[in-house]
Every structure is written in structure tokens, then in C-alpha cells.
């Protein structure tokens, strides 16, 4: 249903990182409308050169995150009625990432840091061997469960003021991934993960400000994961000193 007389006043950041500018659009307001609907309407009805990124439209793929009125959000699941301020929307590319064009950011630094945090599975067994059973109520499994629903949208990375101040910092998503692997008995490289998150961009840079947990659209708490990594790295260091 359209509230035909009402229009949303939308500003969109256009251009590249070297030459960013704001462009204004008037978009028809509707009863049920997501921020992604607004961006798509502009692209389809006004300016087909507007660049942005989306895929699933149902909050699963993690590709449509943008800054909406200064806050990082998954735009496909964000209703305009919830975030518009007096009919105004300010839409910009995700913070803390290089802009390619308009609303599309280069996610390479984000995913490079997943790799740097050893955020990949290190197998304990080959494909011909039986796999290690994990009970659902195993404490490590329960802890890992808290972090595995990450959809890699980059919202926590954009929300993090430590990333903004320290570009080497691995960021909440990569560190949370490392934490879920550390709690996985099927992962063979515990010491490798602990070493990867202990470097100069590692988990110890986190100031526990909690923006990651505040803005995660899936309600995850990367700050808790990072606190766990700090605890385990310190324990491992003290053990190493004792063993030496």
C-alpha cells in the first residue's frame, strides 16, 4: 500500500573514496518498505548507474550492509519506518572499508583478516576416517554455537571504533571466527590460532566498547568471543612459561 502523498528524502553517498559526494533523491514512501527497497527503487526508477550490493534479500547472505543514518545495518531486513528520522534517510557505504563506488565497498581487507586470524578449518582427520562426534551439550560446542551464525556482513567491522583507529586490528568478525574454531574439537591447530590472534593486530587491541554486539544483526556477541581469546592466550602464555 502506498502513502501516495508522502515522500522519503534520501541522501546517498555517490562516487569513489577519492571523490565522494552526496546526492538527494525523493522516494515514494510505502507502508512496508526496507532500506534495500529504497536503494533498489532509486537504481531502477531514477539512476541505473547507482552501484550497491545485495543477493538474498532475506538476511542470510550478508552482502547488503550499509550505513543508514550513520548506523551500520543489514538493509534488506531494516524497515524504513524503524530508522527514518522525519522522513529522512542518509545512506552511505560501510564504514572502515575502502569504497569501490557509491554504496559498494571493497570487502577484501575484511576477509583477508579472517585468513590472518586463522579463521579456516584445520582438519584433524582425513575424509576416509570416522569423524569425531561432538555432543550438542558439550561446553565447547555450546560456546561455539554462540558465534557460528555469523553471516560475514561486516556490520561489526564497520561499527568497531578500534578498527577505525587501528587499521591493523583484525576486527570482531575474524576474531569471533577464530574463537569458534578454538572451541571446535575437530580443529587441529589450536596453537596456530592462538598465535594468529596474539600479534600486533590481535585480540588484545579490543577495548571492549561493545559496538560489535550492539549492532550485530544476528544478535551475536563478538566481544564475548574476544574476551575468551584474551583469556585463552594469557593461559597459554603462562603455561608456556611454566613448561619452558
Partner 1 sequence: MLDLRLYMAQRLSALVMGPLVLGHIAVMIYAIQGGLSTAEILGRTQGSLLWFLFYGTFVVAVSVHAAIGLRVIAHEWLRLRGVALVALTWGIFGALLALGLSAVFAVTLP
> What is the contact surface with partner 1 in residues (CB under 8 A)?
162, 165-166, 168-169, 198-202, 204-205, 230, 233-234, 237
* Residue 88 or 191 with smaller CB distance to partner 1: 191
- Looking at the Cβ atoms of 46 and 237, the one nearer to partner 1 is 237
Nearer of residues 169 and 215 to partner 1, judged by Cβ: 169
CB of 197 to partner 1, least distance (A): 9
For residues 157 and 176, give the distance between their C-alpha atoms in angstroms, rounded to a whole number. 11
Residue 89 CB, shortest distance to partner 1, in Å, is 30
CB-nearer residue toward partner 1: 112 or 168: 168
Say if residues 102 and 93 touch (Cβ distance below 8 Å): yes
Q: Which contiguous run of DSSP H or E holds residue 178?
A: helix 172-182
Q: Are 90 and 80 in contact (CB under 8 A)?
A: no
Residue 82 CB, nearest distance to partner 1 (Å)?
Answer: 32
What is the nearest approach in angstroms of partner 1 to the Cβ of residue 108?
21
Measured between alpha carbons, how far apart are the two ends of the chain, in Å? Answer: 71
Question: What's the CA gap between 51 and 35, in Å, rounded?
Answer: 15
DSSP single-letter state for residue 207: -
Q: Which is nearer to partner 1, 33 or 205 (CB)?
A: 205
Strand 88-92 to 2-14 pairing: parallel
State the nearest-atom distance from the C-beta of 163 to partner 1, in Å.
10
Amino acid at each position: 500500500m502506498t502513502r501516495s502523498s508522502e515522500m522519503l528524502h534520501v541522501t546517498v553517498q555517490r562516487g569513489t573514496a577519492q571523490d565522494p559526494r552526496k546526492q538527494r533523491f525523493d522516494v515514494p514512501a510505502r507502508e512496508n518498505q526496507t532500506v534495500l527497497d529504497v536503494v533498489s527503487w532509486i537504481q531502477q526508477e531514477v539512476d541505473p548507474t547507482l552501484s550497491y550490493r545485495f543477493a538474498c534479500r532475506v538476511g542470510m547472505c550478508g552482502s547488503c550492509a550499509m550505513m543508514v543514518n550513520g548506523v551500520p545495518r543489514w538493509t534488506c531486513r531494516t524497515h524504513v519506518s524503524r530508522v527514518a528520522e522525519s522522513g529522512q534517510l542518509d545512506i552511505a557505504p560501510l564504514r572502515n572499508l575502502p569504497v569501490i563506488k557509491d554504496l559498494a565497498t571493497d570487502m577484501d581487507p575484511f576477509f583477508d583478516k579472517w585468513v590472518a586470524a586463522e579463521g579456516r578449518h584445520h582438519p584433524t582427520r582425513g575424509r576416509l576416517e570416522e569423524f569425531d562426534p561432538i555432543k550438542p551439550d558439550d561446553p565447547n560446542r555450546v560456546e561455539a554455537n554462540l558465534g557460528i551464525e555469523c553471516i560475514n556482513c561486516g556490520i561489526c567491522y564497520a561499527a568497531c571504533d578500534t578498527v577505525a583507529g587501528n587499521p591493523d586490528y583484525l576486527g570482531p568478525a575474524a576474531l569471533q571466527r577464530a574463537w569458534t574454531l578454538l572451541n571446535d574439537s575437530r580443529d587441529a591447530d589450536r596453537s596456530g590460532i592462538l598465535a594468529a590472534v596474539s600479534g600486533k593486530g590481535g585480540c588484545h587491541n579490543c577495548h571492549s566498547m561493545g559496538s560489535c554486539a550492539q549492532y550485530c544483526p544476528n544478535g551475536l556477541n563478538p566481544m564475548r568471543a574476544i574476551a575468551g581469546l584474551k583469556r585463552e592466550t594469557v593461559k597459554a602464555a603462562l603455561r608456556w612459561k611454566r613448561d619452558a
